[in-house]
Amino acid sequence: MNRTLLILICTIGMITGCYYDKEDILNPDTGNCSTINTTYQGTVVPLLQASGCLNCHSGGAPSGNVSLATYTSVKTVAQNGKLFGSINHSPGFSPMPQGGNKMSSCNISKIKAWIDAGSINN
Ligand code: HEC
């Protein structure tokens, strides 16, 4: 009786263990996402470029009157909450990138780390 119980507990442990291993592979976001050394020039600008944000948010007539082409203008939406709200698809904000794929949660947390650290020009 006791042995059966022990085997049962071990089996459950093995199954859930495997399940979590699999999750980590399928969703790398749950694994090694480091927000250390997140900087404006080294992290935020390349992510905005790679996500296509500048296709719409630069030039003389940027979409939504939101420019992401200069540090000062990025800082404005960083500090008023719109940058994080839009990339995180938070309620009350327009989900960005418009017409594109949501940024990975790791990249969203990197931008959030930069915002939370004061959105400095580093
Ligand atoms: C295809 C064009 C397009 C792309 C690409 C795009 N945007 Fe936008 N964005 C818009 C338009 C149009 C608006 C204004 C209308 C609206 O709010 O839906 C807007 C609005 C915004 C706003 C204001 C949101 C609000 O709720 O007031 C922010 C911040 C923003 N975009 C950031 C981004 C970021 C960051 C990216 C890249 C991850 C991005 N956008 C990609 C077209 C785009």
d(CA 118, CA 55): 26
Position 32 scores a pLDDT of 82
Position 27 scores a pLDDT of 42
The response to whether residue 62 sits with its C-beta less than 6 Å from ligand 1 reads no
Position 22 scores a pLDDT of 41
- Ligand 1 pocket, mutate which of 94, 101, 110 (most atoms under 8 A from CB): 94
The response to whether residue 99 sits with its C-beta less than 6 Å from ligand 1 reads yes
pTM of the model: 0.81
Q: What DSSP element (H or E) covers 15?
A: helix 2-26
Position 16 scores a pLDDT of 47
Which residues in 79-99 are b (16+ Cβ under 10 Å) and which e?
Answer: eeebbbbbbbeeeeeeebbee
Position 3 scores a pLDDT of 58
* CA–centroid distance, residue 38 to ligand 1 (Å): 22
Structure tokens of 28? 């790398």
Nearest residue by C-alpha to atom 19 in ligand 1? 64
With a cut of 70, which residues of the chain have pLDDT below it? Answer: 1-31
